Structure 1
Amino acid sequence: MDRSYQDNSINASQALIERIKELNCLYTLSQLLADSRTVEEAVRAVLQTLPPAFQFPDSAISRVLIDGRVYSSREEWFPDRSIRCKLIIEGREAGCAEVSYSPA
């Protein structure tokens, strides 16, 4: 078998695995958020569900900033290694969800 074909096949498989993790995260979050009775329950669900969806879950740190409060899965935070998504609640921007990677 041609080496280029093998490399492409491996890359496609890895990409599919990552997409499956992302979809599982979205599905899990939608279920957990629908069942959450308090903001704290919802935030805990987000903090626990986000890191496993990332390529390197053991290094991923999740954080939620909502209505002036900060919730985090770990104490340390690396803003230069983070991504952010706005949280819209009842039509208003209430905060954001972020994920950061700790250095290797």
Structure 2
Amino acid sequence: MFGEFDLYPDEAVRWGNRRGIVSEVSDATWLRVDEGGIVEMHVDSGERVDERDSICTIMNPFSKDLVTVDAPFDGVVLGSLETPLVWPGNPLYHLVPTKSVA
């Protein structure tokens, strides 16, 4: 439909002087949860995390159990869950690992 009304651009869209902090995201992964409940996020998109940092807490509203989710590796948060509720298997954070330069 958009092509019929000439609404598709003929060239790729360029966004001016913006630059990304991550150029290759082939190693990026969604961190998924094994527990369900109410989520309290501790880090936001764009933040750097270190392995074993506490990145969120999940509370089961029926049993009051708390589960702390730790970062599985050093990385940068590309995106995160936008709702306060999570079910087992739902994605929590989109992480890309950072490689140390030695």
- Give the TM-score normalised by structure 1: 0.27
More strand by share: 2
Higher relative contact order (Cα pairs below 8 Å, separated by 6+ residues)? 2
Greater helix share, structure number? 1
The TM-score normalised by the length of structure 2 is 0.27
